[in-house]
Structure 1
Amino acid sequence: MGTGQQSIQHEPAGQFEATRFEKIHNVIFDDSKEGSLQVAREISDLIRDRASKGLQCVLGLATGSSPIKVYEELVRMHREEGLSFKNVVTFNLDEYHPMEKANIQSYHYFMHQHLFDHVDIPAENVHIPDGTIPSYAVQEYCRAYEREIEKAGGLDFQLLGIGRTGHIGFNEPGSHFNSATRDITLDHITRVDAAGSFKGLENVPRKAITMGIGTIRKAKRIVLMAWGQNKSEIVKETVEGEISSEVPATYLQEHPNTTFVLDKEAAQNLTRIDTPWLVQSCDWTKDLTHKAVVWLSQRKGKPILQLTDKDYNDNGMSDLLSTEESSYEINIRTFNRLQHTITGWPGGKPGSDDSNRPERAEPAKKRVVIFSPHPDDDVISMGGTFDRLVSQGHEVHIVYQTSGNIAVADHEVLKVAEVANSIQPTAYFEQVIQDLGNKTDMDFDSEAVRKVKGSIRRSESYGATRYMGIPDSQVHFLDLPFYETGTIKKNPLGEQDIQIMNDIIEKIKPHQIYAAGDLADPHGTHRVCLEALFASLDVLKSKPFMEECWVWLYRGAWHEWDTHEIEMAVPMSPEQVLRKRKAIFFHQTQKDGVMFQGEDLREFWVRAEDRNKETAQRYQSLGLASYAAMEAFVRYDFYKK
């Protein structure tokens, strides 16, 4: 696994010992920040080297969430270390078409916001595809863009991200490996992924101008960055799959100087990470053995206790058998470990032997904090467990970390404002109605509109928590400042955010904390909220009350923990499934046509139910008891971090 100090430079030919599965050099970091810093260092070194020789440095640049931290670091280097961009010429990969430059969703706006407005690059050295070019003139414009790149001497360095379709730039499936800069129709999945930023799929442009595969492949050096679990499947397919126009990024397998820079989540499906026993001899720790046996059971489609020596030998696990008396002994240990994760008492069962239970029996009545990044993650992700904790007499506090205001559609605000105004006309709601009427695609929400959106989500949250039996006094809204920008782009996590987290934890002094460990959240709020919790725990862990506090992480609406990772599985009866559904329904603005739906078009309550049923079915397929549904958790030991 990577560290922040490792080099991402591609080793000379023959020195990269790829596994038999991997066809592209890749480097894995613990998190995206460390990977981004290394990419920024390589770019800055290149800029300085070219400047020392009196040469221009020609950079191909990308947009999207992946390179943001790279640009932040380059800006910091410019301000604090004297990194000059006067010798830099840039060519951006793509732009939506049609798209006005001033539109907050344009890549022209993005690049100036994140990089160009903060460094000393000459304006004439910046090239971004022009989304305002008339359709009849696009073809000639694209040819001219190619000529500009050639005139500059070609790309010294090309920075890339990767879409879930395998696109680089906007080269969607079907793109030819020799394609040049051109206009292209965007894949439906690409548009779905962008829908949150545009506040609805219908607002996402259908076309774009993109640098071609052939143009990208001419770059002397290519670095592709991929962060997060959402990119793990396409990263595996690109690095290990066959070259295909259906996954345009696979064309990079033929480039002599390409490196993929990944975080652990994006790399998790690579064979050497996911199933290392298929690649090399392993150090068979308890956790790795557990993972491998669960994998083998699922691969063979048979219960754990029915696995045989032959199953182990035929699937790369013969060296594990050599350390044991038989497969039977391994099977029993794995089965028992899984069985001990199942509990109907998430707060611990009072007066019972808890040696084989995931939670402590004492104290019998616990103070519990459920952190919810948005005002609905609590019931979507752990509504059944929430219900059990309340019914079993624990003091449950619900803590909403952000207002979730940007996820409320304008028409919902207009409806509320018009209803309120029809009962008692007020200047405030008149202003809200006027602000919405004057709003364009280039505008952010006014403060008045944001306030109404936040109030709507608060009211929905109270409806759900009251239904679940929580007094209003145990419902807390933090409105963490990092989120309150009124835009999709959030501020960095700050000291004020962490202090607010510290205050609520110190006030309640919980025995249990539940928090969203879902790093696949499409717009990153879950990740920042989790980082806020981790930072707070690091500050508070010396406090005496924290010695009694256990932290359990749940997953959000997009993914579930892998079975081998689960440390507590809480079964749900059919009645609890229905209660969870009803609790989710209180969040009406998030039910139909929700903005931040990600790639899954099912409503949140449907995907939550399906996920919980699938978790229970996976347990059953491994040979354990059958339940209607299950919610899963992983314990986070902050003293070991």
Structure 2
Amino acid sequence: MARLNLLEETRFEKLPVTVYKNSKAASLAVAARIATLIKEKQEKGEQAVLGLATGATPVQVYAELVRLHREEGLSFQNVTTFNLDEYYPMQPDSAQSYVTFMNKNLFDHIDIKRENINIPDGTLDLSDIPTYCMEYERKISELGGLDFQLLGIGRTGHIGFNEPGSAPNSGTRLVTLDDLTRRDASRDFGGKENVPTKAITMGIGTIFKAREIILMAWSPVKAEIVKKAVEGEMSSDVPATFLQLSDNVEFVLDEGAASELTRFNTPWLVKDCVWNSKTIKKAVIWLAQTVKKPILKLTEEDYNNHGMAQLATEKGPVYNINIDIFNQLQHTITGWPGGKPNADDSQRPERAVPARKNAIIFSPHPDDDVISMGGTFIRLADQGHNVHVAYQTSGNTAVWDDDVLRYIEFATDFTKSLNLGTEKLEALYNETRRFIAAKKPNQIDTEEIRTIKGLIRKGEAIAGARFAGLPDENIHFQDLPFYDRGKFSKVVSYEDDIVKTMELLQQIKPHQVFAAGDFADPHGTHKVCFDIILEALTRLSKTEEWTKDCWLWLYRGAWHEFEIHEIEMAVPLSPQEVIRKRHAIFKHQSQKDLPVFPGDDAREFWVRAEDRTSETARKYDELGLADYEAIEAFVRWKF
């Protein structure tokens, strides 16, 4: 019976999928399988032939293999490896090369024979590449093929660098990289313009020949493409769908990457559900959006035709369900994000008492506050709350080099005009020009340049916060050490960041904390900043009485919004408030027009922000709620 239930749950899935709680648990399991294969081959006196991947996804697998070697004696003497791909052109000692990546994360820490390591050569002449690729294939074949192939998946659906359009029988070859792939790599190269346009990659046909294929994916960022690869029709538009042809493949996912699969996202379509308040709310909103009706117009027929007959039977009549969900949504809407004084707050998302709250908005970068919740920020200040803003990092990574020269030129001219002496400034200017002229892709700036870039963003943040109505003493620049420290080492301690955050929280004793909950941030800074806040609050909750009355609200930024069923506080904005928010965003001039790291969205940040909040308002309207110009959304985190 259990087997039948599993088959029913996974009936939309066209290949085997195993889901783990988190990426660490999944990585340990995959590393254990690789270790078992190596040991089995050792016992037989045979070579273990591994196909390896690069990128963030397999890093924890490699770390565990290194641990097994150092602490449990796992030997790699009988292992031969073939990497999937390499950028072209690419020098092997470049910081961005996959040779550097593999040495740093695995090969330099184990006893593998160097002659058994094979990584595509990014230094070849173009004319030599076809012969080289044929030789790469021949070497794999001579060893009897790949025993195990490790894969990640790109957001285009590529495996290796087999981009959309790749054939299922393709072999090792030179390919042109998709623009989205290059944008995703831009941070490693200091801008998309520095990312190579081509790569040498093992083909899909070569991958198919492996006796065991594991594709790994982590986080909600990969959820959409994972769903297409697992449940979609086979298409060259999503090369990973060709893995459906293999009997030897398994997808290994964490809960975030699996979240869009039918059995997790809309489980009522595949099995009987245990209906609780969260599931009912999500299902009813999904149904309304699917049939394009307001919630109060949903019928029993709608429920029955869309996998929700069980809900109608157990919790009906359906009109009562509709009214309950409509009321829940209505109660999320408030024009008083700090609570409405002298009002019944039993059906409101925020408390009425105290009438004037201490609130702190944590902004991972110097513009996340106004981009993500600028309207709410302004309204909290307008309604008389004691609002503070804390800019957690300097944001100095995301400033153009040209702006540094422009600001030094301004400072030089300014000091000249006032006869303040310019020798040191001119020396700094000349040194900076020389550095920038010779700067390599993704090279770390000098301390002076990082300071200037940070000051540029600090000035913009002060202007934005002042525009929102804050006095200068309520504007805090934490400049958390992890941000610059992480430029020099991937092994970073966050203890001093946590301590600084605890000290600020103790100073303000907030009733409300607003923090970035957009963990799809492609640079990871939002998640790190949130974890620091959460740890600080958790520690303080053990000794500080005020924490019992402190609520933590999450906002989201320029990448993704909360789903409607997740929203617990919806702050509507009038057309005039949208304009005020836009003007606050405009204070961040270094991020306007074309920021250094725009992500995969060509729109300016203010346009993204307005489109996102107007889209949320539109969804509320379509569900039968009031028609607002825009809505900023929040979810409460119970810590």
TM-score normalized by the length of structure 2: 0.94
Judged with a 3 Å threshold, the aligned counterparts in structure 2 of structure 1 residues 343 and 61 are, in CA distance, closer, same or farther, namely same
Judged with a 3 Å threshold, the aligned counterparts in structure 2 of structure 1 residues 231 and 550 are, in CA distance, closer, same or farther, namely same
- Whole-angstrom CA distance in 1 between matches of 2:284 and 2:212: 41
Q: SS of 2:157's equivalent?
A: coil
Q: SS of 1:577's equivalent?
A: helix
Judged with a 3 Å threshold, the aligned counterparts in structure 2 of structure 1 residues 72 and 418 are, in CA distance, closer, same or farther, namely farther
Alpha-carbon offset, residue 222 of structure 1: 1.3
Judged with a 3 Å threshold, the aligned counterparts in structure 2 of structure 1 residues 378 and 34 are, in CA distance, closer, same or farther, namely farther
Task: Kindly provide the amino acid, as one letter, of the partner of residue 535 in structure 1.
Answer: E
Counterparts of 1:383-422 in structure 2, within 5 Å, are 383-422=374-413
Q: Is the 8 A contact 1:523 1:596 kept in 2?
A: no
Q: Is the 8 A contact 2:486 2:492 kept in 1?
A: no
- Whole-angstrom CA distance in 1 between matches of 2:225 and 2:294: 30
Instruction: Tell me the equivalent position of 1:555.
Output: 556
Instruction: Tell me the equivalent position of 1:5.
Output: none
Counterparts of 1:568-587 in structure 2, within 5 Å, are 568-587=569-588
- Whole-angstrom CA distance in 2 between matches of 1:188 and 1:95: 17
- Whole-angstrom CA distance in 1 between matches of 2:402 and 2:455: 15
- Whole-angstrom CA distance in 2 between matches of 1:467 and 1:635: 27
- Whole-angstrom CA distance in 1 between matches of 2:4 and 2:256: 28
Q: SS of 2:624's equivalent?
A: coil
Task: Kindly provide the amino acid, as one letter, of the partner of residue 203 in structure 1.
Answer: N
Count of matched residue positions in the alignment of Structure 1 and Structure 2: 628
Q: Is the 8 A contact 1:103 1:441 kept in 2?
A: no
Instruction: Tell me the equivalent position of 1:86.
Output: 77
- 1:473 aligns to 2:473 (yes or no): yes
- 1:175 aligns to 2:166 (yes or no): yes
Instruction: Tell me the equivalent position of 1:6.
Output: none
Instruction: Tell me the equivalent position of 2:607.
Output: 606
Q: Is the 8 A contact 1:173 1:246 kept in 2?
A: yes
- 1:238 aligns to 2:229 (yes or no): yes
Identity %: 57
Alpha-carbon offset, residue 171 of structure 1: 0.3
Alpha-carbon offset, residue 86 of structure 1: 2.7
Q: What whole-Å deviation, never above 9, does each CA across 1:439-492 have from its counterpart, x for those lacking one?
A: 123732222222222222112111111111222222222222322147497544
Task: Kindly provide the amino acid, as one letter, of the partner of residue 632 in structure 1.
Answer: A
Task: Kindly provide the amino acid, as one letter, of the partner of residue 331 in structure 2.
Answer: H
Judged with a 3 Å threshold, the aligned counterparts in structure 2 of structure 1 residues 502 and 70 are, in CA distance, closer, same or farther, namely farther
Q: Is the 8 A contact 2:217 2:253 kept in 1?
A: yes
Alpha-carbon offset, residue 317 of structure 1: 0.5
Instruction: Tell me the equivalent position of 2:630.
Output: 629
Instruction: Tell me the equivalent position of 2:264.
Output: 273
Task: Kindly provide the amino acid, as one letter, of the partner of residue 351 in structure 2.
Answer: R
Counterparts of 1:64-463 in structure 2, within 5 Å, are 64-423=55-414, 424-426=422-424, 427-441=427-441, 443-463=443-463
Q: What whole-Å deviation, never above 9, does each CA across 1:182-241 have from its counterpart, x for those lacking one?
A: 001111222222223323322222111000001111111111111222211111111001
Q: SS of 2:175's equivalent?
A: strand
Alpha-carbon offset, residue 16 of structure 1: 6.6
Cα RMSD for the two superposed structures: 2.1
Instruction: Tell me the equivalent position of 1:37.
Output: 28
Q: Is the 8 A contact 1:365 1:393 kept in 2?
A: yes
Task: Kindly provide the amino acid, as one letter, of the partner of residue 483 in structure 2.
Answer: Y
- Whole-angstrom CA distance in 2 between matches of 1:77 and 1:483: 31
Q: Is the 8 A contact 1:482 1:493 kept in 2?
A: yes
- Whole-angstrom CA distance in 2 between matches of 1:506 and 1:240: 49
Judged with a 3 Å threshold, the aligned counterparts in structure 2 of structure 1 residues 29 and 15 are, in CA distance, closer, same or farther, namely closer
Task: Kindly provide the amino acid, as one letter, of the partner of residue 525 in structure 2.
Answer: T
- Whole-angstrom CA distance in 1 between matches of 2:601 and 2:538: 35
Q: Is the 8 A contact 1:421 1:430 kept in 2?
A: no
Q: Is the 8 A contact 2:620 2:627 kept in 1?
A: yes
- Whole-angstrom CA distance in 2 between matches of 1:519 and 1:468: 25
Q: Is the 8 A contact 1:555 1:561 kept in 2?
A: yes
Instruction: Tell me the equivalent position of 1:7.
Output: none
Judged with a 3 Å threshold, the aligned counterparts in structure 2 of structure 1 residues 84 and 503 are, in CA distance, closer, same or farther, namely farther
- Whole-angstrom CA distance in 1 between matches of 2:381 and 2:488: 34
Q: What whole-Å deviation, never above 9, does each CA across 1:320-364 have from its counterpart, x for those lacking one?
A: 111134111000000000000000111111111100000111111
Q: What whole-Å deviation, never above 9, does each CA across 1:17-57 have from its counterpart, x for those lacking one?
A: 76221012112233323322322232233333333443322
Instruction: Tell me the equivalent position of 1:8.
Output: none
Counterparts of 1:13-52 in structure 2, within 5 Å, are 19-52=10-43
Q: SS of 2:69's equivalent?
A: helix
- Whole-angstrom CA distance in 1 between matches of 2:476 and 2:182: 35
Judged with a 3 Å threshold, the aligned counterparts in structure 2 of structure 1 residues 33 and 584 are, in CA distance, closer, same or farther, namely farther
Judged with a 3 Å threshold, the aligned counterparts in structure 2 of structure 1 residues 245 and 489 are, in CA distance, closer, same or farther, namely farther
Alpha-carbon offset, residue 418 of structure 1: 3.2
- Whole-angstrom CA distance in 2 between matches of 1:15 and 1:630: 40
Judged with a 3 Å threshold, the aligned counterparts in structure 2 of structure 1 residues 128 and 37 are, in CA distance, closer, same or farther, namely same
Q: SS of 2:536's equivalent?
A: helix
- Whole-angstrom CA distance in 1 between matches of 2:490 and 2:359: 29
Counterparts of 1:498-517 in structure 2, within 5 Å, are 498-517=498-517
- Whole-angstrom CA distance in 2 between matches of 1:98 and 1:287: 51
- Whole-angstrom CA distance in 2 between matches of 1:487 and 1:362: 44
Deviates more, 1:453-462 or 1:476-485: 476-485
Judged with a 3 Å threshold, the aligned counterparts in structure 2 of structure 1 residues 400 and 36 are, in CA distance, closer, same or farther, namely farther
Q: Is the 8 A contact 2:460 2:587 kept in 1?
A: yes
Structure 1: give runs of 5+ residues left out of the alignment: 1-10
- Whole-angstrom CA distance in 1 between matches of 2:8 and 2:141: 34
- Whole-angstrom CA distance in 2 between matches of 1:532 and 1:41: 31
Task: Kindly provide the amino acid, as one letter, of the partner of residue 282 in structure 2.
Answer: K
Task: Kindly provide the amino acid, as one letter, of the partner of residue 10 in structure 2.
Answer: T
- Whole-angstrom CA distance in 2 between matches of 1:577 and 1:402: 26
Alpha-carbon offset, residue 78 of structure 1: 3.1
Q: SS of 1:265's equivalent?
A: coil
Q: Is the 8 A contact 1:444 1:486 kept in 2?
A: no
Deviates more, 1:192-201 or 1:580-589: 192-201
Judged with a 3 Å threshold, the aligned counterparts in structure 2 of structure 1 residues 399 and 338 are, in CA distance, closer, same or farther, namely same
Judged with a 3 Å threshold, the aligned counterparts in structure 2 of structure 1 residues 227 and 420 are, in CA distance, closer, same or farther, namely same
Q: SS of 2:397's equivalent?
A: helix
Q: Is the 8 A contact 1:18 1:25 kept in 2?
A: no
Q: SS of 1:624's equivalent?
A: coil
Alpha-carbon offset, residue 411 of structure 1: 1.9
Task: Kindly provide the amino acid, as one letter, of the partner of residue 136 in structure 2.
Answer: Y
Q: SS of 2:214's equivalent?
A: strand
- Whole-angstrom CA distance in 2 between matches of 1:44 and 1:500: 42
Alpha-carbon offset, residue 625 of structure 1: 0.5
Q: SS of 1:197's equivalent?
A: helix
- Whole-angstrom CA distance in 2 between matches of 1:49 and 1:499: 48
Judged with a 3 Å threshold, the aligned counterparts in structure 2 of structure 1 residues 421 and 114 are, in CA distance, closer, same or farther, namely farther
Structure 2: give runs of 5+ residues left out of the alignment: 415-421
Deviates more, 1:280-289 or 1:595-604: 595-604
